[in-house]
Amino acid sequence: MAPGEKIKAKIKKNLPVTGPQAPTIKELMRWYCLTTNTHGCRRIVVSRGRLRRLLWALFTLTAVALVFWQCALLVLSFYTVSVSIKIHFQKLDFPAVTICNINPYKYSAVRPLLADLEQETREALKTLYGFSEIESRKRREAKPWSRAWEGAQPRFLNLIPLLVFKEGETNTATDFLTGRKRKVSGNIIHKASDVVHESKEVVGFRLCSNDTSHCAVYTFSSGVNAIQEWYKLHYMNIMAQVPLEKRVDMSYSAQELLVTCFFDGVSCNARNFTLFHHPMYGNCYTFNNKQNETIHSTSLGGSEYGLQVILYINEEEYNPFLVSSTGAKVIVHRQDEYPFIEDVGTEIETATVTSIGMHLTESFKLSEPYSQCTEDGSDVPIKNIYNAVYSLQICLHSCFQTKMVEKCGCAQYSQPLPPGASYCNYQQHPNWMYCYYELHQAFVQEQLGCQSVCREACSFKEWTLTTSLAQWPSLVSEKWLLRVLTWDQGQQIKKKLNKTDLAKLLIFYKDLNQRSIMESPANTVEVLLSNFGGQLGLWMSCSIVCVIEIIEVFFIDSLSILARHQWQKTKKWWSRRQAPPGPEAPGSPRGRDNPVLELDDDLPTFTSALRLPPAPGAQVPGTPPPRYNTLRLERAFSNQLTDTQVPAES
């Protein structure tokens, strides 16, 4: 190393090294610990003794770990919500009320379409249970089953064969049509029964795919459920082929269903109700619908200030195989919501007065990132096939109907039609029922993905209902009340009314206390930053400036040092690779073997400089003698002033 370079290196070594100028990571960390405001890091360097330095290093690392842990908890709890409940008293809008008769269509109007199906159903009941209107209901097992089907072969039992499984038999069953035993292949799916049945036999039916390669047998522990389910499948197939206008005419009109009506103490009539046709419940009627000119509201609570209606049920027009109970169904919902009467409807009994008290609860949830709810369903990849505002039920039903059209080629009858689709029927889709059952089973087991895609709405209204029943009309008022109602409805109902044909319904607000449940963010950015500052100050006596310093040293400066070292290595490697090979230089002492170039730790002095070899071809100049006359003291002024003269010593 040349003398100048040696001096430069010595000076650099003694100068303080800062930031990326440090040659190594170790020196950078040492400089950081000596200059940082974080107390723990400085104590690691300045403490005396290895034990103290080790303890301070342990304390500092523990504090850093606690800071990371606490800050991680703060970040994870940032997207939490706090729930506030507000109860306020105000004038409330009355909800929409949809009322349906449990029997969808008048039996006298629909019977010609179902004549063949009912005949086969009666023959099946007679064969299985010995059922007859004249003979005893005691089962006649000795009579051959094939006698019931002499003559024309039944059409519906050929499409969906009814089977009877004896106790302990799983692979063989008795066919209703032939009375013979047959082998049963495919999966056997047992459905729970609503009716307790003590028979040791199991009744079911068999469904197959289009190519009959896949079949499934659906069994029921009660013949009642098996016959009703079998009948319902054929019923949907028949009604799916009937035009909507004809189905509306076969159902009940508003004048037939509604006998009397009062709202908030004022009389109302059928014009205050809007027709809503449901595939499984026929003509339903909605009070206070969005199609009305004004939305009714109420300023007082109690049964006198709600909706009061008397319904004509007309049990004589009930289909005996489709429904097994009498009455009506009612549902309370928003004006822009679809009434899922089959899912959440409340049943109303005949010969009783049903009082339904309501409490309104309005909920507001925060959307992403606080929850997975959706504002209006526009971000849900399921097309809404209902002409109503988005809800979770609408999404699930729309998803199932869409999957039904994709996999089965047709739509299920009880739900609205998607664009360009048609309802399933035997003529166009002979084995749609097997596809429907398989798809429905996959939907219940959450294998279609509908439950994972559909999300709850962020805002919704919910009415909590409290139901009470009382006998109506009473024995003392039955005679005159039924006569008056018969006289009032003489134009629409041409018979004497019985109390089993009527049902009274009261729907009202129990009070006008509206409860609002609202979510709000539990944390804000300001609170999060202040919590970060508190944790840093508690564990490391550090501020945001220290955090910036840590980022600069541990990331920017450290990476700069590593990059510089790597760049120097690359340059050396590239220079060695590009250097042309030449003759080897004669061996001469250099490095540690050359005594002249021996490096020492002291700065060069005059004595050591004399040891340097002279430059080739140059004469070493001699040192001239000193000029002694320059050492002589001379006065600054030629003449000394009188007042500054020094007196002579005596």
Q: CA 331, CA 427: separation in Å to the nearest integer?
A: 36
Indicate the length of the chain as a whole number. 650
pLDDT one-digit tens code per residue, 223-269: 778 888 889 888 988 998 899 999 999 999 999 899 999 998 899 98
pLDDT for residue 598 is more than 50: no
Q: CA 368, CA 353: separation in Å to the nearest integer?
A: 46
| Lowest mean pLDDT, pick from 1-10, 367-376, 381-390, 557-566 | 1-10
Per residue in 542-571, is it b (16+ CB within 10 Å) or e — as a string? beeebeebbeebeeebbeebeeeeeeeeee
pLDDT one-digit tens code per residue, 165-192: 776 666 777 777 677 777 776 666 666 5
What is the pLDDT at residue 466? Answer: 93
pLDDT tier, 18 (very low <50, low <70, confident <90, very high otherwise): low
DSSP state of 423: B
Two structure tokens written together for 528: 């999060």
CB 455 within 8 A of CB 395: yes
pLDDT one-digit tens code per residue, 112-137: 999 989 888 888 887 777 665 444 43
What is the pLDDT at residue 87? Answer: 83
CB 604 within 8 A of CB 6: yes
What is the pLDDT at residue 218? Answer: 81
What is the pLDDT at residue 197? Answer: 44
**pTM for this predicted structure:** 0.71
Q: 587-594 — which CB contacts under 8 Å span 24+ positions?
A: none
What is the pLDDT at residue 537? Answer: 77
Q: CA 52, CA 376: separation in Å to the nearest integer?
A: 63
Other Cβ atoms less than 10 A from the Cβ of 585: the count is 7
pLDDT tier, 648 (very low <50, low <70, confident <90, very high otherwise): low
DSSP state of 552: I
What is the pLDDT at residue 193? Answer: 47
Q: CA 218, CA 225: separation in Å to the nearest integer?
A: 11
330 versus 84: the higher-pLDDT residue is 330
Per residue in 391-409, is it b (16+ CB within 10 Å) or e — as a string? bbebbbbbbbbbbbbeebe
Question: How confident is the prediction for the chain on average, in pLDDT?
Answer: 79
Count Cα atoms within 13 angstroms, Cβ side, for 269: 4
Cα distance between the two ends of the chain: 66
pLDDT for residue 161 is more than 90: no
Instruction: Report percent pLDDT > 90 for the chain.
Output: 25
Nearest CA among 216, 140, 201, 127 for reference residue 165: 201
pLDDT one-digit tens code per residue, 298-340: 888 888 899 999 999 988 899 999 988 899 999 999 998 999 9
Mean pLDDT of 622-644: 54
